[in-house]
Structure 1
Amino acid sequence: MLPTLLASRVHDAPIAFSALITVITLGCGFAIQSLARRIDRPGTARAAVVALVVCGVALAAWACGALALVLAVVLGAGYGIGLVAGLQEIERIARPDDLAGLTAVFYSVGYLGFGVAALLAFLHQSVGLEYPRMFAVAGLGAAGCLGVVVRNYRA
């Protein structure tokens, strides 16, 4: 009942639905960060692998209506774990005099990812690309990144 009701209301209030998805995604990303610190192990890429697997961008290819809420939780968890994994790796590799600069670069590059939503909207409106196809391509990119991380994973 709820998925059908929600799916029918998405078109009535697209901005409110987008705001809801954003709050859920960022909230889950924030909530999982304390757990992510326990997943991470120095000298390994364990947290990065978990973040890429949890992220599951390929799921977005099939997301619509109520599934978008589930996807927001999954992507938020991936975002939170990935953020912690990256920051902890920077702490391990940076010299004390480089830590602030490398952290700033990490955040700058990481937050560029939030522009992907605008890029997808632009491609959809101007070129007519369908969201499921764009998400499938993003899923392939995430799978490629996972392959690189796993190949370079050290115990």
Structure 2
Amino acid sequence: MTTATDRRHLWIVLTVLFTVGWATNHFVAMMPVLHDRNGISDAALEAAFGIYAVGLLPGLLTGGGISDRVGRKPIVLPGAAGAAFGNLLMLVWHTEPGVLVGRFAVGLGVGLAVSAGTAWCADLGGKRGTVFAGAVLTSGFAAGPLASGLIAQFTDSVAVLAPFTVTVVMSLLAVAAGLTVPNVRRTVTHDDHLVDSGTVRSLARALWTGIPMSLWVFSAITLSIVTMAGRMTAFSGPWVPGVAAVLSLGSGVVTQVIARRSMWGPRAGIGGALLVAAGLITMAVAGSDPSPLQFIVASVLLGSGYGLCLREGLLDVETYAPAAKRGLAIGVFYVGTYLGFGLPLVLRGLAPSFGIVAPMIVLALMAVASAAIRGVQLRTGVLDGR
């Protein structure tokens, strides 16, 4: 990023990503509203949360790769518009089928927008653009549930309509602003196949370093705002998942900022995975009726781990993926992250046979294993050049 025009374009694309994050995640605050006002069952709402991940996969797997060939704009803006359309469906059709179809449409749109949008930010701003993309997307994930929860809380007669209306309008305004950004791709040169140290870039290296981090990105967040918030009995209402989102996603933003300013480097990924493991152990100890303190501690630990895993995974991909395959690499990375959206539904299915504690312990051990893999990568030079 070298000119004022590039900076302006970067901030417009970041705005699009912010509204995409908002349009994606504000649904968590609407889950108790839809349950109480429209009689949609908890199982159906968790299924809607999971079907979003199914919708994501085609966009994530194809959107980034296609954007490598045709440019980012033709993929990002239709994707953001698709996320708005999914929310519009839920605005006018807030029954169980409508919510399922709407969330699936949101997933399709977000899958296109996130991978290609992050690559677009990298094209415009390099590593700085990549880090900003992750932080801004996180901010949208956090702001959406909080804002929609507050809107629903204080607009009694239109508690379902008002949050969806705000989301749709914001999304479409951002898409309109995105139309002013030209569809220009970065020119690929021989140097794009080398990192700063002279080490060769490759898609395999980008994914080998990024995927172990990706698994703990949205897994951590959904466990806080869906599973942990759903177990709270001391408090209830649409603001509870909103508070969980602010605690977890807000912690994620803070840790990303601290990691950037303190120049923690790739070792931060080890810390991220271990923080997730600590949050999972806290959930296991809390059981089916967590105290407010356990709820706060688990959300902050999981959110902090989320922030570091997202930052480090994206930087791995940006550093090691060849520029001509950056969109594809980011898309595959995000497939790993979004698998976490199906975790609450998986845990609900496992609970009758295995309870709620054993799965948390198994997940914690898996997070520790990811930290160990990154430690090996550091010692063997796989992460050189970061």
Instruction: Give the SS at the match of 2:367.
Output: helix
Residues 112, 129 of structure 1: alpha-carbon distance in 2 compared, 3 angstrom cutoff: same
1:46 positional shift: 0.5
Contact in 2 for aligned 1:24/1:76 (Cα 8 Å): yes
Unaligned 5+ segments in structure 1 are: 1-8
Aligned length: 142
Correspondence 1:51 to 2:276: no
Residues 58 and 140 of structure 1 are in contact (CA less than 8 Å); yes or no, is this contact kept in structure 2?
Answer: no
For the residues of structure 1 that align with 2:264 and 2:332, how far apart are their CA atoms? 21
Please state if 1:31 is matched with 2:257.
no
Letter in 2 for 1:35: I
- Superposition map of 1:1-155 within 5 A: 10=233, 13=236, 16-37=239-260, 38-41=262-265, 45-55=266-276, 56=278, 57-63=280-286, 64-66=290-292, 67-124=294-351, 127-154=352-379
Residue 54 of structure 1 contacts residue 75 of structure 1 at CA under 8 Å; is this kept in 2?
A: yes
Alignment CA distance shift 1:130-1:90 (3 Å)? same
**Cα offset, 1:86, TM superposition:** 0.2
For residue 59 of structure 1, what is the amino acid of its counterpart?
Answer: T
How has the CA–CA distance of structure 1 residues 121 and 39 changed in structure 2, closer, same or farther, with 3 Å as cutoff?
farther
User: Does the aligned pair in 2 maintain the 1:47–1:81 contact within 8 Å?
Assistant: yes
Identity %: 26
Cα RMSD over matched residues? 2.2
User: What is the distance in 2 between the residues matched to 1:83 and 1:120?
Assistant: 23
In structure 2, the partner of 1:6 is: none
Letter in 1 for 2:282: L
Matched residue SS, 2:323:
coil
Measure, in 1, the Cα distance between the counterparts of 2:357 and 2:364.
Answer: 10
Q: For 1:53 and 1:140, how far apart are their aligned partners in 2? A: 10
TM-score, length-scaled by structure 1: 0.78
What is the TM-score with the length of structure 2 in the denominator? 0.34
Q: Map Cα deviations across residues 108-155 of structure 1 (whole Å, 9 max, x no partner).
A: 22121122122112222xx34322221111111112222222223236
C-alpha displacement of 1:40: 4.0
Which residue identity does 2:315 align to in structure 1? Q
* 8 Å Cα contact 1:27/1:76 also seen in 2: yes
Q: CA deviation at 1:22?
A: 3.0
Separation of aligned partners in 2, 1:129 and 1:15: 29
Structure 2: gaps of 5 or more residues: 1-231, 382-386
8 Å CA contact 1:60, 1:135 repeated in 2: yes
For residues 42-97 of structure 1, the C-alpha deviation after alignment (integer angstroms, 9 at most, x for no partner) is xxx40211111222222321132220211101100000010000000111101111
Partner of residue 5, structure 1: none
